[in-house]
Amino acid sequence: MTDSVVTRFAPSPTGFLHIGGARTALFNWLYAKKTGGKMLLRIEDTDRERSTEPAIAAILDGLKWLELDWDGDVIYQFSRAARHREVAEQLLAAGKAYRCYATAEELTAMREKARAEGRTRLYDGLWRDRDPAEAPAGMKPTIRLKAELTGETVIEDQVQGRVVWQNENLDDLVLLRGDGNPTYMLAVVVDDHDMGVSHVIRGDDHLNNAFRQLAIIRSMGWPEPIYAHVPLIHGPDGAKLSKRHGAMGVDAYRDELGLLPEAVGNYLLRLGWGHGDDEIISREQAIEWFDLANVGKSPSRFDFKKLENLNGHYIREADDERLAELVAPSLSLSDAQKILLRQAMPELKARAHTLNQVADGARFLFERRPIEIDDAAAALLSDEARQMLGSAHAKLGALAEWDAAALEAAIREVAESSGVKLGKLAQPLRAALTGRTTSPGIFDVLALLGRDESLARIADQMEPNE
């Protein structure tokens, strides 16, 4: 374990920070922390048509929300285009790259022929050893790497194990396009080298790219990074993760679903990595335990219900003041109402799996009279129930102290005198006080609403139906 470990997270800002990207960032961050190294952040914004400032902002915001801080300044790939071109020119000067003047029609014909013959090498080396003097006038060439034609390339991947690629299947990949712009393959290699990246931890959809990128690295004589290609996340049905499975932006998990960052982080950690049977893992434990050797080789399956249940655990463990601050904006509360929300939080969070459920459970506290009674609650307010509400109103109104012990004693006494079990009275009482059939305990509801509001809400429902 040395401080020489450098990982990087390198998203393309063409959309939100999706859940798979967040897990990649987490694994890079954990490995850097575990080894006393650094995690760098590079925004791969070379696709100028699709890269957007809002997407960049969403990526940075998502990482900050998940508390995945990076080291140093953010690197923007597009700003380094001159450096990428410089390396392409170096390879050209060293005879390890060449100018290609193949036309679009020629390239199409090559690809079609290769596919018809079942070959993965799509470019046939037309300009590899040809005299540039034969080039058509006025045509701007691409610059291609001279790939190895024989032998094999081996990667000892930290997750996938030993992976072998036959060099005869490697194309002479394009380094610079005809307009002088560097390709993704070249830019990634140059940036990783210049940033001192020692470990490339990314999705296994990039495994084939690794062999092409290694060809550039070896042509330049640069140190080779250690690779770890992590299997992708699939949906519960085993299919590629899509929006219907939960492939939303990290911001949606926060803003739309009401999840806590520590729950999302814990869940992502367990998607494809494990430490025995441990499910609840703190960030400190994750740093201590994380190891690439324990990343599985098979795709993991996204289970939203499991994520929601895990979030429920973290909500119950969370500080009440923090939860109140997170929930309050969705309820548009005054300062006084925020105090009430904070007081109610121990009861509210005990029944919730998401912040949305906490907010929904709290709404009855702030409704104006007469409160709306939903259909299920209205069905509990029979004439008999309304008569019991009248008895409860009288008993509660006579209380000298409005505290938990006195409230419970009063309600139990009314139930007993009415000849019913406590639940038979508590259900219509809950309906009258909250407008719903579910809520915190009825004595807690009475205590939170206070004497005046509780008595007024009960009175609103005491009259029989017309």
Identity of the amino acid at 323: L
Q: What is the pTM of this model?
A: 0.92
Tens digit of each residue's pLDDT (9 = 90 or more) over 112-160: 998 898 888 888 888 998 888 888 888 899 999 999 999 999 999 999 9
Closest CA to 187 of 175, 202, 198: 175
Tens digit of each residue's pLDDT (9 = 90 or more) over 22-59: 999 999 999 999 999 999 999 999 888 888 999 999 99
What are the residues whose beta carbons fall under 8 Å from the beta carbon of 82, sequence distance 6 or more? Answer: none
Strands of the 75-76 sheet, one edge to the other: 6-9, 38-43, 75-76
Q: Where is pLDDT greater, at 14 or 225? A: 225
Residue-averaged pLDDT of the chain: 94
Crossing angle of the two packed helices 19-34 and 261-270, in degrees rounded to 10: 80
pLDDT band per the 50, 70, 90 thresholds, residue 343? very high
Question: What is residue 454's predicted lDDT score, i.e. its pLDDT?
Answer: 98
pLDDT band per the 50, 70, 90 thresholds, residue 465? low
pLDDT band per the 50, 70, 90 thresholds, residue 2? very low
Crossing angle of the two packed helices 320-331 and 335-349, in degrees rounded to 10: 120
Question: What is residue 1's predicted lDDT score, i.e. its pLDDT?
Answer: 37
- SS3 helix, strand, coil % of the chain, rounded to 5? 50, 10, 35
Catalytic, out of 146, 243, 305, 424: 243
Separation of alpha carbons 315 and 262, rounded Å: 10
Dihedrals φ, ψ of 162, to 5°?
A: -75, 120
Tens digit of each residue's pLDDT (9 = 90 or more) over 164-200: 999 988 899 999 999 999 999 999 999 999 999 999 9
Question: What is residue 391's predicted lDDT score, i.e. its pLDDT?
Answer: 97
Find the mean pLDDT for residues 438-447. 96
Residue 349 designated active-site: no
Closest CA to 170 of 220, 120, 95: 120
Pair type for strands 233-234 and 161-166: unpaired
